Structure 1
Amino acid sequence: MIEILTPAEVDKARATGALVGDILQTLKSKSLVGTNLLELDEITRQLIVDAGAESCYVDYAPSFGNGPFGHYVCTAVNDAVLHGMPHDYALADGDLLTLDLAVLLDGIAADAAISFVVGESARAEDLALIDVTQRALAAAIDIAGPDVRVGDLSHAIGQVLGAEGYPINLEFGGHGIGSTMHGDPHVANDGRPGRGYRLRPGLLLALEPWVMADTDVLVTDADGWTLRSSTGCRTAHTEHTIAITETGAEILTLPSR
């Protein structure tokens, strides 16, 4: 189902988005060498509770997962890229960490993800992965607005990712969001312009370019959730929730501070 939010609901989405952005920035500041992924999950739980919000993940049990996710934030390290289940792992210098968070506040959800390098030993190729996902996301947001097609957004993302030679996986991508975390339309990370649903004011989209350095094939961990590159190569993922406005698009998941 495609949801079109009222102006009052979009106001609520702004509050949810700011909360998601703020929690992600707090988690980034806590993601130090030696920090355990389970510590980050507990910090997330407490921040959500303190804000009077609800986790979109802890009870999430889609067909592609292994029962309820059971955690509050996705923590994907190095060759993991999506649905990274927090586990007993202490971050090391140079780890490429992706944090993905979705929260429901006052009935409206928002979803965002950031990738960054832990510590001081950043690899140039890791920074390039992060940069291309950020640029691909910016390219889609720049053209988003009323009467733009979903295919136009997919094409904008794919042009940036493809120009750098990265393979593009089309199994998982962006999505509509509103009263629930995942809704229609699906926004693939590559596509044909001029095709698909025509965007309307009040539509919320979570756009999420992600790449793996040398493959488009995913494998699933024994936990039934964490998706990794099939070759063990590094990965990155950047996501924002945006609202389509009368004149363009507004990013909702920027941190408030």
Structure 2
Amino acid sequence: IPLLIINIQRGGPSTGLPTKTEQSDLLQAYYGRNGECPMPVIAASTPSDCFEAAYEAVRIAVQHMTPVILLSDGYIANGAEPWRFPQSADLEPIIVKFKKGLAEGEQRFMPYLRDEKLARPWAVPGTPGLEHRIGGLEKEDITGNVSYDADNHQHMVKTRELKISRIAEYIPEQHLDSGPESGDVLVLGWGSTHGAIKSAVAELQAEGRAVAHAQIRYLRPFPRNLAEMLGRYKHVLIPEINNGQLIKIIRDQFLVDAKGYNKVKGVPITRTELVHAIKELL
């Protein structure tokens, strides 16, 4: 089912620090769904980026038929910057396809017959001939019948994972925000660390240091070229306003000896702090 969940992170747990910022929910978004059933995760990096990130999250949700989590945080939510209000004609259209009836030669509706994205057909409730079962019980592939078959369950778990992984084929490749294509340090950020990283890296680049900056929007799945990009630098530094969450995923997925800079005080990381952290790796 297409669904967009927006998480504006703050200091936790529970009510925690309700007016302070944090990036402490990434692992929950990444791994928190039961039954090894992943969801796409997208992160906005600035106040103006929130619109584009939300629009992209909706596109993924409706075209890939999946819930999507959009992460922001208190620093972004309470921030402001000039933003040109977009015209609807300038927005990339989001193509939505509904199944409106049985196709020629189709004897009965197969609600789990997937397309090239592994997305199931979207049948409008009440459409004649498209009645099907819904609910939390495991379904048989293709037919959508309730199934307790062991092999079918393993197949469906793998299919749900592959469906999310395949979204990488429909999102842009990771780009550098600034810096050389290869060098000494790549500072890899997500969310509201964008401004501090951008300023710190610019200062070091002005000194002639081979330092680059990349800000990740697509956290699950990662852009398909991210592994190759990480391998072009001697060191990877991941600043986060948490106890080290993206760094765990990066190390797990890519076997990269990334280093973290973590601050969990309810306030943003500063440019000066990052300059010192980067220089320690040079």
On whether the aligned pair clears a TM of 0.5, the verdict is no
Specify which structure has the higher proportion of helix.
2
TM-score, normalised to structure 2's length?
Answer: 0.26
Q: Decide which structure has the larger Cα Rg and report it.
A: 2
TM-score, normalised to structure 1's length?
Answer: 0.28
